[in-house]
Amino acid sequence: MKVLVIGSGGREHAITWKLSQSELCTKIYVAPGNAGTEEEPKTENIDFRAEDLEGLLSFAKNQEIDLTIVGPEAPLVSGLIDLFEENDLLCLGPNKLAAQMEGSKIFMKDVLKKGNIPTADYEVFSDPLLAKKFLENCEIPIVLKADGLAGGKGVIVAFSREEALEALNSLMVDKKLGSAGDILVIEEFLEGEEASFIVLCDGESIVPLASSQDHKQRDDGDEGPNTGGMGAFSPTPLIDEEYNKKILDEIIQPTLDELKRRKIVYKGFLYAGLMINKEDIKVLEYNCRFGDPETQPILMRMKSDFLDLCFKAARKELHNQSIEWDDRFALGVVMASKGYPEKYETGFPISGIFEESSYVKVFHCGTKKELNEIRSDGGRVLCVTGLGDNLNDAFNITYKATSKINWEGAFYRRDIGKRKQ
């Protein structure tokens, strides 16, 4: 089977790595990929950006691609799946309407509300004066969310009223995020521990993937600015079997039912960001894709044939399908460029990417190969991922490997997986 993977991050490297292990796989093209994807067996990077829908379409048609798998949200929200399906190409990912679960916070919150799915109380504002009035009287902390896609910069958790009013100004008046901030969701602050619960859907059936936990803040102890994710591990002890069932029955299934009620069919990965505390589980957000960096530890633990699963999901054949998992824990540490998530420099040669083993893998997130040398080429650069018999072993194995890798300005968190459970 010839597969096209769209995207260039650590998630797409992990997807490519896992697909290449399938006997069903004859060739993988990654658009545009990175220095890591290119090294995988049967794999070739192609020079198309994930946003170049027409270019990707003509490539897929010319090469007679059997299955296209989309990594990032932007092409999904722009309607890549609709375009491919109109051209009779098999692909995995939600269509434009379904991708609104990530593309519009208002849409997502309304699905949750109408579906009676637990989430933070919220109000929607399109008038900055009304939003200001609300913020002058609301409880603090408070959370402001830009309605549209904002590359991970659209959510501000304000711990003081001044901070909240400043955020409002920058989003709605100064338009720091452009039109993404035209409409705001302002919502109640939730306390607890965050976990990621990702499922694979075929439009009818759901197969849950292993649970995981990300670390969104840049610095140790969950300090510093929000990032795309600085490290993740799987499974999380926060979600036991009882919670697993509760999440499927009370969150995921009602979400898909509510979408169906709106005549929206969801196919692809659906990612629920959850806030878990002793009393309850609430939805913080939905993403219309696989998580990054969650994909890296999750796929390290997957024993089933990933291509077979994706193919079945795309063909609506997931009924009664289950996934076999390695019992061990996997933990991924993101190595990033100095300055990330704000401005950073790229192009530094990376040293110490060692021989990999069956229990450690260095996934590339933002790298390129130049003159036979691997160089940094993004904010998040690598995600070193290791397997261990328990979380502590996975921690030690992964950090030992991470400590050998370096480039000018490289940094990483030292406490992935060390939260008190």
- x/- binding map, residues 157-196, to ligand GLY, per CB under 6 A? ----------------------------------------
77: left (phi over 0), alpha (psi -120 to 50) or beta: alpha
Binding of ligand GLY by 229 (CB under 6 A): yes
Binding of ligand GLY by 7 (CB under 6 A): no
Rounded Cα–Cα distance for residues 194 and 213 (Å): 7
Q: Which does 291 bind (CB under 5 to 8 A by kind): ligand AMP, ligand GLY, none?
A: ligand GLY
Rounded Cα–Cα distance for residues 151 and 142 (Å): 21
Q: Which does 305 bind (CB under 5 to 8 A by kind): ligand AMP, ligand GLY, none?
A: none
Binding of ligand AMP by 5 (CB under 6 A): no
Binding of ligand AMP by 12 (CB under 6 A): no
Instruction: Quote the least distance from Cβ 147 to ligand GLY, whole Å.
Output: 17
Which of 40, 66, 73, 194 lies at the binding interface for ligand AMP (CB under 6 A)? 194
Q: Which stretch binds ligand GLY (CB under 6 A): 35-43, 80-88, 290-298, 399-407?
A: 290-298
Binding of ligand AMP by 216 (CB under 6 A): yes
Rounded Cα–Cα distance for residues 91 and 81 (Å): 7
- Nearest-CA neighbor of 9 among 46, 26, 34? 34
Q: Which C-beta is closer to ligand GLY: that of 375 or that of 379?
A: 379
Give the rounded distance of the alpha carbon of 261 from its chain centre: 26
Q: Which C-beta is closer to ligand AMP: that of 194 or that of 202?
A: 194
Q: Which DSSP string do the residues of 43-70 spell out, in sequence order?
A: EEE-S--TT-HHHHHHHHHHTT-SEEEE
Q: Which does 187 bind (CB under 5 to 8 A by kind): ligand GLY, ligand AMP, none?
A: ligand AMP
Binding of ligand AMP by 215 (CB under 6 A): no
> Residue 193: beta bridge partners?
276
CB 56 within 8 A of CB 31: yes
Q: Which stretch binds ligand AMP (CB under 6 A): 70-78, 181-189, 205-213, 297-305?
A: 181-189
Which of 74, 135, 190, 200 lies at the binding interface for ligand AMP (CB under 6 A)? 190
Distances, alpha carbon 91 to alpha carbons 7, 12, 82, 86, 88, in Å: 14, 15, 10, 11, 9
Binding of ligand GLY by 213 (CB under 6 A): no
- Nearest-CA neighbor of 333 among 291, 368, 382? 382
Binding of ligand GLY by 72 (CB under 6 A): no
Residues 6+ apart with CB under 8 A from 114: 258, 261
Instruction: Quote the least distance from Cβ 291 to ligand GLY, whole Å.
Output: 4
Binding of ligand AMP by 120 (CB under 6 A): yes
- x/- binding map, residues 259-288, to ligand GLY, per CB under 6 A? ----------------------------x-
Inter-helix orientation angle 253-261/105-114, to 10° = 100
Encoded tokens for 37: 């994807």
Rounded Cα–Cα distance for residues 210 and 140 (Å): 34
Residues 6+ apart with CB under 8 A from 310: 19, 67, 69, 92, 200
Judged by CB under 6 A, the chain residues 263 through 322 that form the site for ligand AMP are 273, 284-285
Rounded Cα–Cα distance for residues 184 and 126 (Å): 6
Q: Which does 226 bind (CB under 5 to 8 A by kind): ligand GLY, ligand AMP, none?
A: ligand AMP
Binding of ligand GLY by 292 (CB under 6 A): yes
Q: Which C-beta is closer to ligand AMP: that of 194 or that of 258?
A: 194
Binding of ligand GLY by 291 (CB under 6 A): yes
> CA angle, corner 200, sides to 326 and 388, nearest 5?
20
Residues that bind ligand GLY (CB under 6 A): 214, 229, 287, 291-292, 294
Residues that bind ligand AMP (CB under 6 A): 120, 143, 155, 157, 187-190, 194, 216, 226, 273, 284-285
